Homo-oligomer: A and B are copies of this chain.
Amino acid sequence: MHKKPKQPDQGKISPGFRGRIWIDGKEGTFLGYGRIILLERIRECGSITKAAKSMEMSYRNAWELVDSMNKQSSRQLVETATGGSGGGGAILTDEGEKAIKLFWEFHEDFQNFLRREENKLMLSKSTQQGKIKNKGR
């Protein structure tokens, strides 16, 4: 039983370069880290209720996020059904899969960007303080 993915691997270790990214839609945030985790959990769990519980998120919050994402996309990312066998449920659409993929690519690029920035800083520091052992070339 896994829990609490909320925080991207970034924000905690300190010190260093940090950041958060998201994708905006017509009405504000469309895709963000928490939303993507939620989509993945819905895919695994088959319902918003179970997905929310699995990540210690209130159903209310989870539902609002799903609603927000669906409203901001021409095609639904999650299809829901009330009633029926098992009481209903939620499934991830192909569009939802695309969203997950899109965001993780963005996310990975960003992680690499942060690493490059830290390296850049280290280099500039060593060449600055440096000249300590300026081995000719």
Interface residues in chain A, defined as those with a beta carbon under 8 Å from any beta carbon in chain B:
11, 13-26, 28, 30, 72, 102, 106, 109-110, 113, 117, 121
B24 touches A15 (CB 8 A): yes
Q: List the 6 closest pairs (A to B, CB-CB), nearest first.
A: A14-B24, A19-B21, A15-B24, A15-B25, A113-B113, A18-B24
Q: Is the CB–CB distance between A19 and B16 below 8 Å?
A: no
Contact B20–A16 (Cβ < 8 Å):
no
**With contacts A15-B23, A110-B113 known, what are 17 further pairs, Cβ within 8 A?**
A11-B24, A13-B24, A14-B24, A14-B25, A14-B26, A16-B23, A17-B24, A17-B106, A18-B21, A18-B22, A19-B20, A19-B21, A19-B110, A102-B121, A109-B113, A109-B117, A113-B113
Contacts of A110 in B (CB 8 A): 19, 113
Q: From B19, B21, B30, give the contact of A15 (CB < 8 A).
A: B30
Given the complex of chains A and B, what is the CA–CA distance between A22 and B11 in angstroms?
A: 10
Of the listed residues A16, A26, A102, A110, the one surrounded by the most CB atoms of chain B closer than 10 A to its CB is A110
**Which residues of the other chain, B, contact A18 by a CB distance below 8 angstroms?**
21-24
Chain B, Cβ-Cβ closest to A106? B117
Docked complex Cα distance between A22 and B14 (Å)? 11
